[in-house]
Amino acid sequence: MKIIGTGRAHPAFTLTNSMLEDILDTSNEWIMERTGITQRQIITDEKLEDLAAEAARQALDDAGLTAKDIDLLICSNVVNEYATPSLGCVVEGLIGAECPTYDINAACSGFVYALSMAEAYLRSGMFRRILILCAEEPTRMVSWQDRSTCVLFGDAAGAVVVTAGDEMKAIRITATPKRDVLRYERMLQPTPYITKSESDVPLVMNGREVFKTAVTSSIADVKGVLSDSGVDKDEVKYYILHQANVRIIEAIREHFKQPAEKFPRNVDKYGNTSSASIPVMLDEMSRKGCFKRGDKLVLSAFGAGFTTAACLIEWAK
Ligand code: UT7
């Protein structure tokens, strides 16, 4: 598998920490110190499907392809306004693709999970050109009265186009049942026969537990893909980690004793954009000219589930 195009889209509205001070018992200092976030782009009157379509079009343009050239669209999404049809189907209509599509929900690990699926399809020869699209609006899952969660998130879409190649050197995906540390419960339609109690609860998170699990599992995953690929940690050009909290990124960086510039961050300006965070970072860095062909990149993510995923790729563009 190799990545041949990237794209991204962000909502127009910038919500700064000082704006949050007006609606919550919080402070810019607390948010900065505990998370590294200064602002986030959040959905107002946009629709997630339009951001997703924009990211997809950019990735296709970057790859020199049109929507009709795509054999499969894998869409990573936790919530959007439709439970069905899939967001993939909605976006397909917007961009004019004519291929099978489905959504996956591996929470913030969704991008690397989707890469692992694409790798298997490409190896089998079943599909030749796959669009991976991660489109997320976590700001619609949190309570805006809950200062411990709503300050953390932002909305975004990120996309890549992948095709057959030898650039995926190692990939690992894991899941452990830990519903209590991070969950969002939605109320389903009642029926005349439902007798159990049900609740509609915004995102609930045990932040400290997520923090600890994220650091230990990401370190294990990164060690795993380094050892599977036979690459030394110093040979890696960039460690592109899920952008949730600069303290999590720092803890992982310190463990591997790597310089700060190898662990790029954009959580300061976008917040945690769930599975969109890694493809957004790839697109941002690619367009800034940060990557050269053959650069070794480690991608590593963690999320609700608890899911984790990491891979080691060589840059192919
Ligand atoms: O994609 C995965 C998504 N989730 C994550 O990645 C979350 C991982 N965890 C974290 O990033 C951190 O645990 C948080 C940023 C969520 C919290 O940081 P912390 O250093 O673990 O703080 P804490 O939860 O231990 O809370 C410390 C204090 C508490 O007050 P008391 O009980 O000590 O009086 C909180 O009530 O900070 C308070 N607090 C706040 N204060 C001001 C919590 N949120 C806020 C806030 N502003 N926004």
Residue 26 has pLDDT above 90, yes or no: yes
**Predicted structure pTM score:** 0.97
Could you tell me the distance, in angstroms and rounded to a whole number, from the CA of residue 148 to the centre of ligand 1?
5
Centre of ligand 1 from the C-alpha of residue 258, in Å: 26
Which tens digits make up the pLDDT trace of 68-83?
999 999 999 999 999 9
Instruction: Summarize pLDDT for 255-298 with one digit per residue, the tens.
Output: 999 999 999 999 999 999 999 999 999 999 999 999 999 999 99
Q: Is 108 a catalytic residue?
A: yes
Q: Of 147, 165, 153, which is closest to residue 37 (Cα–Cα)? A: 153
pLDDT at 292: 98
Residues ≥6 apart with Cβ < 8 Å to 257: none
Q: Which of 110, 131, 118, 147 is nearest to 273 (CA)?
A: 110
Tokens of 300: 């590593």
Taking only the tens place, the pLDDT of each residue in 153-192 is 999 999 999 999 999 999 999 999 999 999 999 999 999 9
Residue 142 CA, ligand 1 centroid: distance in Å: 14
For residues 20-33, one letter each, b for 16 or more C-beta atoms within 10 angstroms of the residue's C-beta and e for the rest, the string is: beeebebeeeebee
Query: What is the C-alpha to C-alpha distance for residues 181 and 179, in angstroms, rounded to an integer?
Result: 6
Measured CA distances, 271 to 149, 242, 290 (Å) = 11, 11, 21
Q: Give the tens place of pLDDT for each residue, 108-165.
A: 999 999 999 999 999 999 999 999 999 999 999 999 999 999 999 999 999 999 999 9
> Which two three-digit tokens encode residue 145?
């009265």
- Is 272 known to be catalytic? yes
Q: Is 17 a catalytic residue?
A: no
pLDDT tens digit sequence for 185-228: 999 999 999 999 988 899 999 999 999 999 999 999 999 999 99
Contact by Cβ (8 Å): 57, 17 = no
Q: What is the pLDDT of residue 199?
A: 86
Cβ of residue 173 lying under 6 Å from some atom of ligand 1: no
* pLDDT for the residue 195: 95
Average pLDDT over residues 35-39: 98
Question: Catalytic one among 108, 134, 150, 311?
Answer: 108
Query: What's the pLDDT at 307?
Result: 98
List domains and CATH numbers for the chain. Answer: 2-166 (3.40.47.10), 170-314 (3.40.47.10)
